[in-house]
Structure 1
């Protein structure tokens, strides 16, 4: 006799297993295929994700920066990341200004984007599992937020191809937050350190080159 049948014999109802949180890839795909919507806004994603909104939206805004984008794109996508990362740093409730939350796109355009990233997003999600939980809980979570804030600041700087590594770091942190996976947080810390080193070297090189040009101009 199983435990469930013994409980029923004693007049008890079997306990329902705790439902698993739905994956971001599945939620985005469902929203994209919802033909009752004409447009998909950031607010729609924000409200659908609930208490996972910060991790989900940081991932949504960081992912496009993993590939070369037109000049100015990283600054546009980086602004919401600054808000979200700052809130994560200080343990604040997720919130976005109305001017950002109400930004939207046609459902068809949103569906096209999701169809391109869905496989990669789903693959990464399959690798997630709860582990090293101390790294995805306060106060360690606040440190992740601070590092994401630094990466978001770097991402908004007008540095050629300087947005990819910071975006990768933010994506790794976001996956860690969404999946409660401390391993991805560790990978995010490594990517953030690499990003700071590379971008710092690029900035130093630009400043040194500018100083050389100025020095020769007035020589």
Structure 2
């Protein structure tokens, strides 16, 4: 996979999407804007807004494309493809413009210091590992877990930006955040199970 455009940064394309006069943004428009090989940009676009509070329904708009895109990366498909029912999904552009107003400045700072490095993290095997990891993270992201979507969203965004920039250090960061996400999920699962057992015991004794 290659960067979307050598002369145009991811942050500049995101600004164009936010500034478009059309009142709604569709998944298909995003895919078209980023180009046929922009898997990394799409991963970032559909994961980064999950860091912020969003209106109801936004998580579905964001999670479904990730569940479709990430398996394609995992199996080595070179150009993203989306079924029509996903391609036509739309949300108010103002909602995402408001979110990306806070994300783009951070992204611009990262772009200034990011550069191609640790190239062994990519290639036929590396890209597939990243795709599979992002698919598992997207599954977690789609679940209704209170505050549980932020770590996997951060990991997917790091992986996406690493693919755009070919920056292996960002990929390493993505794997580190994935490990943290898995740990938090395990701890949360055990805590929920313990609470359920205690509640069952209390009800049984009542």
On whether the aligned pair clears a TM of 0.5, the verdict is yes
Work out which of the two has the higher radius of gyration on C-alpha atoms and give 1 or 2. 1
Give the paired residue count: 200
Question: Contact 2:49–2:96 at 8 Å: present in 1 too?
Answer: no
Q: Which has the higher contact order (CA 8 A, sep 6+)?
A: 2
Cα deviation, residue 28, structure 1: 2.0
Could you tell me which residue of structure 1 aligns to residue 73 of structure 2?
Answer: 88
Instruction: Name the SS for the 1:138 alignment partner.
Output: helix
The equivalent position to 1:187 in structure 2, one of 173, 180, 187, is 173
Cα deviation, residue 22, structure 1: 1.7
Q: C-alpha separation between the residues in 2 aligned to 1:195 and 1:180?
A: 23
Out of 63-72 and 125-134, give the one that drifted further. 63-72
* CA 1:162–1:87: 2 relative to 1, 3 Å: same
1:171 aligns with 2:132: no
Q: C-alpha separation between the residues in 2 aligned to 1:168 and 1:127?
A: 18
- Superposition pairs of residues 1-219 of structure 1, within 5 angstroms: 20-35=6-21, 37=22, 39-69=24-54, 73-92=58-77, 93-107=79-93, 110-219=96-205
What is the root-mean-square deviation of aligned Cα atoms in Å? 2.2
Instruction: Name the SS for the 1:40 alignment partner.
Output: strand
* CA 1:174–1:142: 2 relative to 1, 3 Å: same
Query: For structure 2, which runs of at least 5 residues remain unmatched after alignment?
Result: none
Query: For structure 1, which runs of at least 5 residues remain unmatched after alignment?
Result: 1-18
Partner deviation per Cα, 1:66-105 (whole Å, 9 max, x = no partner): 1344666434422221111111111123111212211234
* CA 1:28–1:97: 2 relative to 1, 3 Å: same
Q: C-alpha separation between the residues in 2 aligned to 1:34 and 1:148?
A: 29
Out of 94-103 and 138-147, give the one that drifted further. 94-103
Cα deviation, residue 112, structure 1: 4.0
Out of 105-114 and 168-177, give the one that drifted further. 105-114
TM-score (norm: length of structure 2): 0.86
Q: C-alpha separation between the residues in 1 aligned to 2:81 and 2:69?
A: 7
Cα deviation, residue 118, structure 1: 2.0
Q: C-alpha separation between the residues in 1 aligned to 2:13 and 2:62?
A: 21
